[in-house]
Homo-oligomer: A and B are copies of this chain.
Amino acid sequence: MAEQKQPTSAAPDAVLRALADPHRRQILRLVQHAELPAGQIAASFTLTQQAVSQHIGVLKQAGLLTERREGTRRLYALRHESLEPVRELLSEFWPDALSRLKQAIETDHPRPPKR
């Protein structure tokens, strides 16, 4: 019964804390559709390159980002599955939202018909 090494969706804490910062959410917006090198991400902010690098570190550690090295650059992208804990949280506290989300999201898991 060892823990699975893959950080599939560990503690919601890290994810939620990571998301609770506007800068970091902005980073996620930037990389949600395509990979971007750290420098280009940093260029979007008035923060220093290092500060942005630290934010990236937080996001990465929360499992929200994938990192790929290409030459001297590091390319980051949103790791969508890592939002699973948030979805779970939401569906735990907002059953209405569960229904809504199911309609929108869970196309692959058609629940047994109402009756």
Residues of A within 8 A of B (CB-CB), count: 34
- Answer whether residue A104 sits at the interface, using C-beta atoms and an 8 A cutoff: yes
Identical chains in the assembly: 2
- Answer whether residue A48 sits at the interface, using C-beta atoms and an 8 A cutoff: no
- Answer whether residue A47 sits at the interface, using C-beta atoms and an 8 A cutoff: no
Flag if B86 contacts A96 (CB, 8 Å): no
- Find the residue from A90, A103, A104 having the highest chain B CB count within 10 A: A90
Residues facing B in A76-115 (CB within 8 A) are 78, 80, 83, 86-87, 89-98, 100-101, 103-105, 107
Flag if B13 contacts A20 (CB, 8 Å): yes
A residues bordering B, Cβ < 8 Å?
12-13, 16-17, 19-22, 25, 28-29, 32-33, 78, 80, 83, 86-87, 89-98, 100-101, 103-105, 107
